[in-house]
């Protein structure tokens, strides 16, 4: 893909790293000369020390070729302007960071995909890693639902039972699904069925309609994993 990344700050640089490492053709637009030079020295991409809110800068970035534009600056007003200009040039995929939740409606109205307040998301993730150490990774879906990964310990009530038995015994609520099992010595991960047995040491991916509450993590052998 041909990707234009606007901004080479704390969000933009990891994105540039991922995009270039994945073999994409990347153009970076950054107003700060020092940041622009640093990215140009480190990554295999074209870097423009310019203001992406100007048509000229976007034309210099060959925006007509772009498959995607991602705006990562720390100013919502700048990101909105950049996205509007990208729409004028009919860029197929336009994505932006949003720092102030009050601005979300503006981005929605102009039809831009967004990532809301990444600093807050990082802070929440770090707190979750401390407060709920048994949960390896998680993603929130809507207001309450979550998908998370958790290891099955030897004392887990669910260890040694099939999914059907776990449901019959009331270990798994109707709103809980085990969607994948990573087991040592088996690759790829197991797609579980009703007769699939959960084993000690399994890393299971769980969907829960009410989130990863302590009563649910207890089922996988982690009674200590409770919010403080």
Task: Kindly list the structural domains of the chain, giving each domain's residue range(s) and its CATH number in brackets, ordered by start.
Answer: 2-116 (3.40.50.720), 122-219 (3.30.70.1450)
Q: Which pLDDT score is estimated for 133?
A: 79
| Long-range Cβ contact pairs of 134-143 (< 8 A, separation 24 or more) | 134/217, 134/220, 134/222, 134/224, 134/225, 135/212, 135/217, 135/225, 136/203, 138/212, 140/211
Each residue of 18-38: pLDDT tens digit?
999 999 999 999 999 999 999
pLDDT tier, 227 (very low <50, low <70, confident <90, very high otherwise):
very low
Q: Which pLDDT score is estimated for 57?
A: 97
Each residue of 152-189: pLDDT tens digit?
999 999 999 999 999 999 999 999 999 999 999 888 99
Q: Which pLDDT score is estimated for 228?
A: 44
Beta bridge partners of 29: 6, 48
CA dihedral 59, 62, 68, 73 (to 10 degrees): -50
Tell me the C-alpha distance between 167 and 99, whole Å. Answer: 42
Task: State pTM to two decimals.
Answer: 0.65
């Amino acid at each position: 893909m041909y990707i234009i990344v606007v901004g080479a700050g704390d969000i933009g640089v990891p994105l540039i790293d991922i995009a270039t490492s994945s073999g994409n053709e990347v153009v970076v637009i950054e107003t700060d000369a020092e940041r622009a030079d640093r990215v140009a020295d480190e990554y295999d991409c074209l870097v423009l020390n310019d203001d992406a809110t100007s048509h000229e800068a976007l034309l210099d970035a060959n925006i007509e070729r772009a498959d995607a534009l991602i705006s990562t600056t720390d100013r919502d007003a700048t990101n909105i302007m950049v996205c509007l200009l990208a729409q004028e040039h009919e860029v197929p995929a336009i994505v932006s960071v949003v720092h102030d939740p009050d601005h979300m409606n503006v981005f929605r109205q102009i039809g831009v995909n967004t990532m809301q307040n990444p600093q807050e998301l990082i802070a929440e993730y770090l707190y979750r890693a401390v407060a709920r150490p048994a949960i390896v990774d998680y993603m929130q879906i809507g207001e309450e639902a979550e998908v998370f990964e958790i290891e099955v310990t030897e004392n887990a009530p669910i260890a040694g039972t099939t999914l059907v038995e776990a449901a019959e015994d009331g270990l798994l609520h109707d709103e809980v699904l085990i969607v994948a099992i990573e087991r040592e010595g088996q690759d790829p991960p197991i797609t579980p069925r009703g007769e699939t047995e959960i084993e000690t040491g399994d890393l299971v991916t769980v969907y829960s309609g009410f989130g990863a509450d302590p009563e649910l993590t207890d089922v996988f052998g982690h009674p200590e994993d409770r919010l403080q």
